Amino acid sequence: MNKKSIVVQKYGGTSVGDADKIKRVAARIIDKKKSGKSLVVVVSAPGNTTDNLIAMADSISPDPEIREMDMLLATGEQQGIALVAMAIHEQGYKAISLTGQQVGIMTDSAHSRARIKSINTKKLKKELDRDNIVIVAGFQGISAEENITTLGRGGSDLSAVALAAVLDAEVCEIYTDVDGIFSTDPSIAPKAQKIDRISYDEMLEFSSAGAKVLQSRSVEVAKKNNIKVHIKSSYTEEEKNSGTIIMKKTKDLEQVAVRGVTVDKNQVRISIIGVSDTPGVAAKIFGELAKENINVDMIIQSSAHETGINDISFTVKSEMLKRTVEICSHIKNNLKAQKVITDKNVAKISIIGVGMRSHAGVAARMFELLSENNINIEMISTSEIKISCVIDSAKGKSAVKILHKAFCE
């Protein structure tokens, strides 16, 4: 018997937000099934379900235990898969819904941000062999202690990419509410272009630079397992739904110097002022933050004052501000630094493209453009395929327009 090739699809919460949308999703799934594929479909919690559950928990406890929160939130996806399976049945096709536990999506015990450790494919393959469309609850798994866990932000995408990896799927299709990845935010630069193909590395930079379509860790899993990921729209007819394909670097991907421009306003800058300029101070600060699972993005250490005292600044995501300041206050006391100050009015602007490797002068041109337009650069970080600058958030949009015009139009 010839094995059919497997396609994994993922539909987000807004795509299954009401009965009509669920029926349309079911029709789209069936269309793919008719094309002769074996189908595994990952579904998120419908519409506002998760928000409503969080509000319910809030009304009971301001700080609920995360194990119970996972128990509560996992019901959203479970409702989603049952409803999608029903809609497929109603249109005359075979489908079966499975929770994370039923599939055997094993995670560690870090509730609310668990990491997938392994996925059992036995049950999945059995149901595919029965010609079922298998509908899997995204965002959830089960720990070794048989507690229900959730995977945190972007968790359903991660479920889909991980399933595609263990099933050796030909593609992982992520259906979302945009047409694909764009060279920048079209609401800022109307000439923004949809990108047809993008490499894993570029996509990683887009994700970490603030593009919200797919989280870094999903891209990492795709890259590691060489899974082709296809970002598509839940609302566009399939013939016109070319989307963006994320895949290994290919020859034609090399042609472009700058693939896109991103702006991330979800950043805050924290500075520890008056730190003594002795070895090991930076290690101490960033070691403590790492221990508390706080991801630091950009770092600048000012040149030492004559007194042997300097300042250390770095950026973190906005939601980490409170916790980071708490930790830095401790560190400040230990290091006998002067003070901790924060700045929320910053934006990180990035230009991304694998072509930068071979195109010299891209960074210089970026700095020049910003300078010509009186946009002050506060911090810089670079990788082989990305250059990011922290600037005043008020100038974020105009910086995007300027850079997109220069590099992408």
71/67 Cα distance (integer angstroms): 6
**Binding segment (CB under 8 A) for a second copy, from list 86-94, 112-120, 192-200, 227-235:** 86-94
Supply the minimum distance, in Å, between the C-beta of residue 90 and a second copy: 4
**Can residue 64 be called a binding residue for a second copy (CB under 8 A)?**
yes
**Can residue 19 be called a binding residue for a second copy (CB under 8 A)?**
yes
**Can residue 71 be called a binding residue for a second copy (CB under 8 A)?**
yes
Supply the minimum distance, in Å, between the C-beta of residue 59 and a second copy: 4
Provide CB contacts within 8 A for 274, sequence distance 6+. 309, 311, 337, 338, 339
| Comparison of 138 and 396: residue with beta carbon closer to a second copy | 138
327/380 Cα distance (integer angstroms): 24
Do residues 72 and 53 touch, judged by C-beta distance below 8 A?
yes
**Can residue 68 be called a binding residue for a second copy (CB under 8 A)?**
yes
| Comparison of 102 and 271: residue with beta carbon closer to a second copy | 102
Do residues 243 and 188 touch, judged by C-beta distance below 8 A?
no
Chain residues 115-134 in contact with a second copy, contact rule CB under 8 A: 123
Among 2, 34, 36, 59, binds a second copy (CB under 8 A): 59
Tokens (6 digits) for 73: 């939130």
Do residues 261 and 349 touch, judged by C-beta distance below 8 A?
yes
| Comparison of 135 and 192: residue with beta carbon closer to a second copy | 135
Do residues 212 and 200 touch, judged by C-beta distance below 8 A?
no
Supply the minimum distance, in Å, between the C-beta of residue 63 and a second copy: 9
Provide CB contacts within 8 A for 233, sequence distance 6+. 175, 176, 177, 178, 179, 180, 241, 243
| Comparison of 144 and 290: residue with beta carbon closer to a second copy | 144
**Can residue 96 be called a binding residue for a second copy (CB under 8 A)?**
yes
Tokens (6 digits) for 138: 């995204």
| Comparison of 58 and 292: residue with beta carbon closer to a second copy | 58
Radius of gyration of the chain from Cα atoms? 23
User: 181 vs 15, 44, 197, 382, CA distance in Å?
Assistant: 18, 20, 9, 22
Site string for a second copy, 284-323 (x = CB under 8 A): ----------------------------------------
Site string for a second copy, 144-183 (x = CB under 8 A): --xxx-----------------------------------
Supply the minimum distance, in Å, between the C-beta of residue 48 and a second copy: 13
Q: How many residues bind a second copy (CB under 8 A)?
A: 37
**Can residue 82 be called a binding residue for a second copy (CB under 8 A)?**
yes
Q: SS3 for 324?
A: helix
| Comparison of 52 and 338: residue with beta carbon closer to a second copy | 52
> Which alpha helices (DSSP H) does 143-276 contain, by range?
155-166, 200-208, 216-225
Q: What are φ and ψ of residue 157, in 5° steps? A: -60, -45
| Comparison of 77 and 201: residue with beta carbon closer to a second copy | 77
Among 6, 7, 8, 22, binds a second copy (CB under 8 A): 22
**Can residue 101 be called a binding residue for a second copy (CB under 8 A)?**
yes
| Comparison of 49 and 350: residue with beta carbon closer to a second copy | 49
Do residues 264 and 318 touch, judged by C-beta distance below 8 A?
no
Among 4, 14, 48, 53, binds a second copy (CB under 8 A): 53
The beta-strand segments (E) located in 144-290 are 148-150, 171-176, 197-199, 229-233, 244-247, 260-264, 267-276
110/319 Cα distance (integer angstroms): 19
For binding to a second copy (CB under 8 A), which residues are involved? 19, 22-23, 53, 56-57, 59-61, 64-65, 67-69, 71-72, 74-75, 78-79, 81-83, 85-87, 89-90, 96-97, 99, 101-102, 123, 146-148
